[in-house]
Each structure stands twice: as structure tokens, then as C-alpha cells.
Amino acid sequence: MKAAPRPCSIADTLALVGEKYALLVLREVSLGVRRFDRIARNTGAPRDILTARLKRLVEAGILEKVPYSARPPRFEYRATAAGEELQPVLVTLMAWGDRHLNADDRPVVLEHDCGEVLSPRLVCAHCGGEAGRDSLRHHVRAPGWTTAGPVEPGAS
Amino acid sequence: MKAAPRPCSIADTLALVGEKYALLVLREVSLGVRRFDRIARNTGAPRDILTARLKRLVEAGILEKVPYSARPPRFEYRATAAGEELQPVLVTLMAWGDRHLNADDRPVVLEHDCGEVLSPRLVCAHCGGEAGRDSLRHHVRAPGWTTAGPVEPGAS
DNA sequence: GGTGAGGGTTTGAAAATCCAACGCACAGGG
DNA sequence: CCCTGTGCGTTGGATTTTCAAACCCTCACC
């Protein structure tokens, strides 16, 4: 055997949406841009790559194809419920980039219902307290693994 | 000209951490795994790729090299403040994978200070209200762009 | 009948990935 | 001293992906 990587939902999620352009496609769909040509232009993805990404995202249940014309057969792409649940990922990535890369002029600003510009904060749904590094503890449940690595750090 | 993609902090952030393995490296570092060999094994990244990713993340100010042995010269990799601010991204990705891919047996569980298993929630730091799709409005500030796309949808 | 839009597929060159092997610097043991 | 092992990479070559541009097909419209 040749040492499987750590079992992890982050890795599993990235296997679906971690390829180049996948999250940008989702961004466009979230913005209401649902057609092939527009998504291609707005993301910069080559058309053949976009074809592959859309196919994968549809198979993963993140997007769905909805017909908007029968003849010729034409579809648009919409986020499913699962797809919409990825929005916090987009928002969080955007907030990081706004802070660290585009501090002086943000390309897009999100306005929250309350009227303020959104700065997103991750909290515990249960107690409402901040969910930051210092308030979290990892419990590795995958058999054979610990926080540091595999139990048997070499052999099989 | 050949049509630049939409200016966007999500894209800018992904240009740094969107390559394969980059976020998994950050995951390991966040878990306290800081040395080359272990990161390689736990993520599954080929060693040459890992070299490239670490270099890029260090240059981006997300990780830093800290010497832990002078002779032979050896370094470990730690998250900078900017790097730690990416943790919400990891947590959010993990939550999605836990819900949609590993619902019946999560490889890793996060426990919040309050004693409960964390389910993360994104809120507005200002008012504390949920920051979901329906409570957000996009304002595109980049010149020449609207929510739907470029102002002049073809020409330059 | 010609033109144009929408949504892809094809083609071939360029870049990134993967994996195994190698290199180097040192530590520890015999 | 010699041999082995560990840590951290680098190198070489085969394999995949990406990319950009061109092509194709179906219709709508004039």
C-alpha cells in the first residue's frame, strides 16, 4: 500500500469544487448568470473546461440544468439547495481577499439587510459565540488517524 | 483585447489558495502538522508539488518558515495571522462536506467552547443577523462591470 | 440565402501533475 | 570509520490538464 491521505470533509468537498474555475462558476450562478456563454466570459474559463466543470457540478448535485428553450434544446444552470449552501464559502473567500488583497478598493461589496456593508463572522449556531481557532477543538474520528497523522506512522 | 474576467476577490483569493493541495496544506498546518514529510503524507501531495505550494503560500504571507534546527538547517511552516484568517474557509468547506458527503460518519468533528459540536453559521458582524443569500445584496463597484457582466457585452 | 447567436466539440501545442529515484547533510550505532 | 536512517528537498521523464482558436450544428431573423 501507498499511504492514503487523511480522511477529511475538506478534501472531499474540494474534490468537487476545488478544481480551477469551479467556484467561480458557482459565483456567477449565484449572481444570476446562468448561461454558458456568459459564465465563460465572466470567469475566463475556456469553453471545453467549462463544459467539464458544469458536467461535474451537475453530477455532484450542486447545479442543475433547467431547460429554457425546447427548440433548439437549451439549458441554463441553477444552484440546487446544496449549491446554495456553498455560498458561505464564497462569502468567506471574498472577505479574505477584500481584506488582504483588495483592501483599498473592493471589486464587489455585499450589503446586509441591516443596511451595513457585510463583514462576515463565523459563529457557533448553538451558542452564538465566535467560532475561531482558539474556541475550537478537533476530534479525529477516522480510524487509524490522530490530529498529527496516522497511528502507525510508517508501516501498513 | 481578449475580455478580462470579472474582477473579484474570490478569484484573487483562489489564485493564491485555489491550486490543488493548497488548502489541505493549510489544514495540516492548522492541525499542528508543520513539517514537510508529514504534510506530504497527510495530504497526499507529491513532494515536488508540495515544495511549490509551500513556496507560494510563504510568498503570499499565508505561511511562514520558522527554523527549528540550525544544523542541518531545517524549517517548519506556520500560519501567519493572514493564514489563520483563512480558517473560516476551511471550517465552512468541512461543514458542507460533513453535511452532503459524509453525513453518517464525519472524519473530524469540531467541538466549540460551549461544549457542543460546532455547526458554523455565518452572520453579519454588525447586526449579528444571519448572512444568507436572501439577506445580501451585491454591489459591483468594478468599473465596466455589472452584476450580470461587462457593461459593453462584446466590444472593448 | 445569408448572418448571427447559443452551446458546445475538436485539435494540437503548452503547462502542470505525478512518481520514483537521487542528493545532501547530519545523527547514531557498531 | 562505515553503515544505516531521517528530513527535506531536487531531478527526469511519462502522463494529464489546460488552453486558445477553430470548427460544427441548430435554429431565428431578415
CA pair distance A56, A22, nearest whole angstrom = 9
Name the β-bridge partners of B120.
A124
The beta strands (E) that lie in chain A are given as 63-69, 74-79, 108-112, 120-124, 136-140
Give B71 to chain A, closest Cα distance, Å.
Answer: 25
User: Closest-CA residue in chain B for A139?
Assistant: B109
**B105 CB contact with strand C at below 7 Å:** no
Residues 62-81 of B with CB under 7 A from strand C: 71-72
User: Under 8 Å CB-to-CB from A40, ≥6 apart: which residues?
Assistant: A46, A47, A50
Q: Which of B113, B116, B135 to mutate to test the interface with A (most CBs of A within 10 A)?
A: B113
pLDDT tens for residues B3-48? Answer: 899 999 999 999 999 999 999 999 999 999 999 999 999 999 999 9
CB B94 within 8 A of CB A9: yes
| Domain B7-85 indexed as CATH 3.10.150.10 | no
Average pLDDT over residues A123-148: 96
So what's the pLDDT on residue B155? 46
CA pair distance A47, A23, nearest whole angstrom = 16
The residue that minimises its CA distance to C1' of C7 is: A36
| Per-residue pLDDT band at B72 (split at 50, 70, 90) | confident
**Which residue, A90, A14, A116, is CA-closest to B13?**
A90
The residue that minimises its CA distance to C1' of D19 is: A46
Give A74 to chain B, closest Cα distance, Å.
Answer: 19
So what's the pLDDT on residue A156? 41
CA pair distance A52, A34, nearest whole angstrom = 16
Whole-number distance in Å between B19 CA and C13 C1' = 23
Residues 120-149 of B with CB under 7 A from strand C: none
Please judge whether B8 and A30 are an interchain contact, meaning their C-beta atoms are less than 8 angstroms apart.
Answer: no
pLDDT tens for residues A30-40? Answer: 999 999 999 99
- Give the closest of A82, A110, A127 to B116, CB-based: A127
Please judge whether B12 and A101 are an interchain contact, meaning their C-beta atoms are less than 8 angstroms apart.
Answer: yes
So what's the pLDDT on residue A33? 97
Under CATH, which architecture does the A9-135 domain have? Orthogonal Bundle (1.10)
φ, ψ of residue A151 to 5 degrees: the values are: -65, -40
Q: Does the pLDDT at position A87 exceed 60?
A: yes
CA pair distance A131, A88, nearest whole angstrom = 14
Give A73 to chain B, closest Cα distance, Å.
Answer: 23
| Per-residue pLDDT band at B156 (split at 50, 70, 90) | very low
Whole-number distance in Å between A73 CA and D28 C1' = 13
**A74 CB contact with strand C at below 7 Å:** yes
Whole-number distance in Å between B118 CA and D28 C1' = 54
Shortest-distance nucleotide from A19 CA to C1':
D17
**A67 CB contact with strand C at below 7 Å:** no
CA pair distance B18, A96, nearest whole angstrom = 13
Residues from chain A that touch B16, judged by Cβ atoms under 8 A, are 101
Pairing of strands B74-79, A120-124: unpaired
> In a 3-state reduction of DSSP, which class is residue B131?
coil
The residue that minimises its CA distance to C1' of D17 is: A49
The ranges assigned to domains in chain A are 9-135
Torsion sign (Cα): A30, A31, A36, A42: negative
So what's the pLDDT on residue B80? 98
So what's the pLDDT on residue B153? 57
> In a 3-state reduction of DSSP, which class is residue B15?
helix
What is the rounded average pLDDT for all residues in chain A? 95
Whole-number distance in Å between A52 CA and C4 C1' = 26
User: Under 8 Å CB-to-CB from B5, ≥6 apart: which residues?
Assistant: A24, A41, A42, A43, A44, B11
Name the most confidently modeled range: B45-59, B60-74, B141-155: B45-59
